[in-house]
Structure 1
Amino acid sequence: MSPACGRGLDSSRTRHRDARLEDTLEPARTAASPTPKGATVARVAIIGGGPAGYEAALVAAQLGADVTLIESTGAGGACVLSDCVPSKTFIAASNVLTEIHESTPMGVGAVDTTIDAKAVNGRVRRLATQQSADIAQKVAAAGVEIVYGRGALRLDNRHNYVHELRVTPLEGEPYDTDCDIVLICTGATPRTLTSAPTDGERILSWRQLYDLDELPEHLIVVGSGVTGAEFASAYLAMGSQVTLISSRDRVMPHEDADAAETVGKVFEKRGMDIRNHSRAAAARRTATGVEVELEDGTVVDGSHALICVGSIPNSDDLGLHAYGVDVNERGFIPVDKVSRTNVPGVYAAGDVTGVHALASVAAMQGRIAIWHALGEAVRPLKLANVAANVFTDPELASVGVSQSEVDAGKVDCRAVLLPLSSNPRAKMVDRTDGFVKLFAWNSSGIVAGGVVVASRASELITPIALAVEQRLTVEQLARTLTIYPSLSGSIAEAARQLMEY
């Protein structure tokens, strides 16, 4: 019989745990919640160690399952090592420069600043590596078996919903193992263009930026979605000349129109060259840098090009088609609201499902999958209550219903928009670009959603998200005392204005 997934993988051939974690693992096993005598221990295999995978592993271990986490790059996956954590660390450095550069109107003389790109990128890498190590230690301490390698479903004579996996460790020979529950959390990879092949030197994906020893003199960003806008904003603050190629009529075309327009105007005010209604046809190396050719024949010259044209789900080489797991035409794995695929016992979570490319959503999908698979009471994922943030400067955050739904008559809501130019705290720190927008249901006065554009919109959206989740009315929100002066005061003020309707 094949060895069971999880702690049963204990032979010298199959034990591929990080040696640095060995000392912490055995005590953790002893301290783990005991399984009742005679009870059957569920065997859980998780393929992918990003937010969906490691959060699911922690839940499964807490519930007494025998858990194996299979990850090819490192704990935390691409999210921690090359995507979300590095990008937000880099953006944090750029925000410091924005604060310095825009302090003059406050009577504080801006000082000369120097930027050591190698040092900034080195810090980005160190923090990502440390975060990965912290996650690995936490997961191992919970009693989870970590296998560094790849996993795939293996078609076999299945019975009683037992699933077989082919595990290929980074070191050692491949082997087969069976388990009761499989969770696929393999994420996604930056999409590239055949006419603009990335080389890691001049034409780059966002995962290759941190290998640069110097800041780009002139960065051409192809793609004005969330990722493109974030990096364009950060490199502009760092001092690079930035040209943003946008195929639509504005940056971030899928975000709230008022918010995207506000952020776009800030970009232009700070010197960004935004080419709306433009589409890149090709990107090529030149003797001195790169050139990006647009579909209308225009050529934009720069020192580097950053390709931000979406992601491709990592659903290949997992044995899905042969196993009968549905995969759509774009490569995503369709799941229901509790993360089930069409095959019993096989779940999927995170970017590979195409639900929402957010770490918070991926983590919740993973937790929900395990809760459901192990028979716990579970609340299905409610995407309408998910708060999202774009880490440009200013940031753009949103939750709940959208302005486009209101305008189209899909929801019966009223709205109020308060510019930050009327907020006393925003005036004091001279960060008045932005607004707070609040939606409420006409029938009940319950808060339906909101949009915030501000330097720390990611923090300001939380009280609105809480109001949406807990179904608070605008009156309840309006009667909540806020600090004076504070940016959050605009949220209560917007609620008071909605009460007047």
Structure 2
Amino acid sequence: MPAKSTSAKPTYQYDAIIIGTGPGGEGAAMNLAKSGKSVAVVERHDQVGGGCTHWGTIPSKALRHSVSRFIEYNENPLFQMENQSSNLTFPQILKHAAGVIRKQVRLRSSFYDRNRVEVFAGEASFVDAHTIKITPPTGPERLITAETIVLATGSRPYRPTSVDFNHPHIFDSDTILSLQDDPRHIIIFGAGVIGCEYASIFRGLGVRVDLVNTRDRLLSFMDAEISDALSYHFWNSGVTIRHGEEFESIEGLPDGVILHLQSGKKMKADCILFANGRTGNTDTLNLASVGLKADSRGQLKVNAKYQTEVSNIYAVGDVIGYPSLASAAYDQGRIAGHAIIHGDCPTQLIEDIPVGIYTIPEMSSVGKTEQQLTAARIPYEVGRAQFKHLARAQIANTSVGSLKLLFHRDTKEILGIHCFGERAAEIVHIGQAIMMQKNGGNNVEYFVHTTFNYPTMAEAYRVAAMNGLNRLF
């Protein structure tokens, strides 16, 4: 009798290779490593952390923190002395951001070391579905293999080919961190999250800011009252906002730039920050060799397990698009790791993902907006608390802002939480914790019947809840 044929399982160097060390890559790598899998990560830069640590979330929030404290100092009556003037420049606050980045890199590097994850520096590209070629900055190329590949390559600023980003006065949200001058006037093209955050930073430094918005209002995905509050705050602080504009061209000058708009307007400034969209980092991966194709924005399609059309290749984070948040990317990485280990994915991202926008003041929200609830014909009521009425805000001299609770008129279930003001991104999580409760635990009356420390910003929940409940009849 002929012998039965057996097909041996291929042998790979690693159980998994993660491409990218941002939040998504880190989440996947740590989950897999802690489950006993052999893991390698490939990072195109010489330090771990990805765009989040080096060019995105961490540096921009560090810059924002420095400027916010500077504004508080200048507005505090204790420090308003005669004939005293204080100035802060963009290069100065970059030093603080650089210190934070160094601390983050050391911390994140220790995670890989402790969990025995091997880190390779270089550009990664596919040879086949199980083989990755690493091209380091110096030295020979090498090939590594794994049963599973996770793409966590992140995104980069969108760069139209017609714009000369090599010009010394034209920046994107990555290269703006190399700005060594102290501009008197900056144009920011693109009024999304990044554009609004940098508008706050530069205006806080006393720079004249023109914010050009391609849409008809700022941050239209936010609750209208909250985004209107930001618009008013920008207007009141001297930011010029131009809505509904598209750029025709950007002309670089020896001493600045001229922005030509399709409407015929021309704007001149010392420099321009082009912050209109992002592109997934997939163009150098040689996706064609494994039968994958990114869309026009460089993004990949995945299923509920973050699995691409090739069964052993997964993708998480900005490279798959929405919600494009560092917090969500880390969770996506962990969920993908669980699916790789167990073959299923019982855990999913929460339905109501909180959004934090680090303008000055901050904006944050979770759940539905008034506009969404009205369109869905859900009967709701509104409870509001103005920060200027809170003792803690008066003590801290941070009285700008408010908290808004949206809750169902009949069940009193919290449907949305929207906050504008200092520490908004922290404050929103108090309400989120109640909003996530099941079996009747999600009820706006919780905030009336609990006891808050006094004075605190958390007290805004009690004030807003009572305000809203008093509207019922």
User: 8 Å contact 2:20–2:151 — kept in the other structure?
Assistant: yes
Q: Distance in 2 between matches of 1:168 and 1:3?
A: 23
The corresponding residue for 2:161 is: 194
Q: 2:215 is paired with a residue of what secondary structure? A: coil
Match of 2:110 among 108, 123, 137: 137
2:434 maps to 1:461: no
The corresponding residue for 1:480 is: 450
Q: 1:474 is paired with a residue of what secondary structure? A: coil
The corresponding residue for 1:57 is: 29
TM-score by length of 1: 0.85
> What does the per-residue CA deviation read over 1:436-476, in whole Å, with 9 as the maximum and x for residues that have no partner?
11122345322222110011101101112212222421122
The corresponding residue for 1:4 is: 12
User: 8 Å contact 2:384–2:467 — kept in the other structure?
Assistant: no
User: 8 Å contact 1:397–1:451 — kept in the other structure?
Assistant: yes
Q: 2:324 is paired with a residue of what secondary structure? A: coil
Structure 1 residues 99 and 317, CA, compared in 2 at 3 Å: closer, same or farther?
A: same
Match of 2:171 among 195, 204, 217: 204
Structure 1 residues 116 and 432, CA, compared in 2 at 3 Å: closer, same or farther?
A: closer
The corresponding residue for 1:349 is: 316
Structure 1 residues 376 and 497, CA, compared in 2 at 3 Å: closer, same or farther?
A: farther
The corresponding residue for 1:226 is: 193
2:122 maps to 1:149: yes
The corresponding residue for 1:68 is: 40
The corresponding residue for 2:73 is: 100
User: 8 Å contact 1:191–1:312 — kept in the other structure?
Assistant: yes
Q: 1:137 is paired with a residue of what secondary structure? A: helix
Q: How does 1:63-462 map to 2 (within 5 A)?
A: 63-73=35-45, 74-104=47-77, 108-109=80-81, 111-155=84-128, 163-199=130-166, 201-325=168-292, 327-375=294-342, 378-409=345-376, 411-462=378-429
Match of 1:490 among 427, 446, 460: 460
Shift of 1:229: 0.4
Structure 1 residues 415 and 384, CA, compared in 2 at 3 Å: closer, same or farther?
A: farther
User: 8 Å contact 1:47–1:150 — kept in the other structure?
Assistant: no
- Unpaired segments of 5 or more residues in structure 2? 1-8
Q: 2:122 is paired with a residue of what secondary structure? A: strand
User: 8 Å contact 1:60–1:370 — kept in the other structure?
Assistant: yes
Q: Distance in 1 between matches of 2:122 and 2:278?
A: 22
> What does the per-residue CA deviation read over 1:370-426, in whole Å, with 9 as the maximum and x for residues that have no partner?
011101875433353211111001100011122221121265543323332333333
Q: Distance in 1 between matches of 2:455 and 2:394?
A: 10
The corresponding residue for 2:3 is: none
User: 8 Å contact 1:386–1:465 — kept in the other structure?
Assistant: no
Shift of 1:134: 2.3
Q: Distance in 2 between matches of 1:478 and 1:75?
A: 46
The corresponding residue for 1:27 is: none
Letter in 2 for 1:67: V
Letter in 2 for 1:4: Y
Shift of 1:249: 2.8
Letter in 2 for 1:291: I
The corresponding residue for 2:6 is: none
User: 8 Å contact 1:339–1:369 — kept in the other structure?
Assistant: yes
Q: Distance in 1 between matches of 2:81 and 2:370?
A: 40
Shift of 1:221: 0.6
Percent identity reads: 24
Q: 1:466 is paired with a residue of what secondary structure? A: helix
User: 8 Å contact 2:291–2:310 — kept in the other structure?
Assistant: yes
Instruction: Tell me whether 234-243 or 339-348 shows the greater mean CA deviation.
Output: 339-348
Structure 1 residues 378 and 303, CA, compared in 2 at 3 Å: closer, same or farther?
A: same
Q: Distance in 1 between matches of 2:183 and 2:167?
A: 13
> What does the per-residue CA deviation read over 1:178-208, in whole Å, with 9 as the maximum and x for residues that have no partner?
2122110000010123343222621111111
Structure 1 residues 495 and 5, CA, compared in 2 at 3 Å: closer, same or farther?
A: farther
Q: How does 1:34-49 map to 2 (within 5 A)?
A: 43-49=15-21
Shift of 1:365: 0.4
Letter in 2 for 1:78: G
User: 8 Å contact 1:245–1:280 — kept in the other structure?
Assistant: no
Shift of 1:82: 1.4
Q: 2:60 is paired with a residue of what secondary structure? A: helix
Q: Distance in 1 between matches of 2:311 and 2:379?
A: 39
Letter in 2 for 1:260: S
Letter in 2 for 1:68: A
User: 8 Å contact 1:266–1:433 — kept in the other structure?
Assistant: no
Structure 1 residues 245 and 483, CA, compared in 2 at 3 Å: closer, same or farther?
A: same
Structure 1 residues 484 and 326, CA, compared in 2 at 3 Å: closer, same or farther?
A: same
Structure 1 residues 101 and 264, CA, compared in 2 at 3 Å: closer, same or farther?
A: farther
TM-score by length of 2: 0.90
Q: Distance in 2 between matches of 1:48 and 1:136?
A: 13
CA RMSD of aligned residues (A): 2.3
> What does the per-residue CA deviation read over 1:33-72, in whole Å, with 9 as the maximum and x for residues that have no partner?
xxxxxxxxxx011011111112221111110000001111
Q: 1:399 is paired with a residue of what secondary structure? A: strand
Equivalent residues, number:
458
Letter in 2 for 1:482: F
Q: Distance in 1 between matches of 2:389 and 2:79?
A: 21
Q: Distance in 2 between matches of 1:381 and 1:441?
A: 25
Shift of 1:342: 2.3
Q: 1:458 is paired with a residue of what secondary structure? A: helix
Shift of 1:85: 1.1
- Unpaired segments of 5 or more residues in structure 1? 7-42, 157-162
User: 8 Å contact 2:385–2:467 — kept in the other structure?
Assistant: no
Q: Distance in 1 between matches of 2:120 and 2:364?
A: 37
Q: Distance in 2 between matches of 1:421 and 1:115?
A: 28
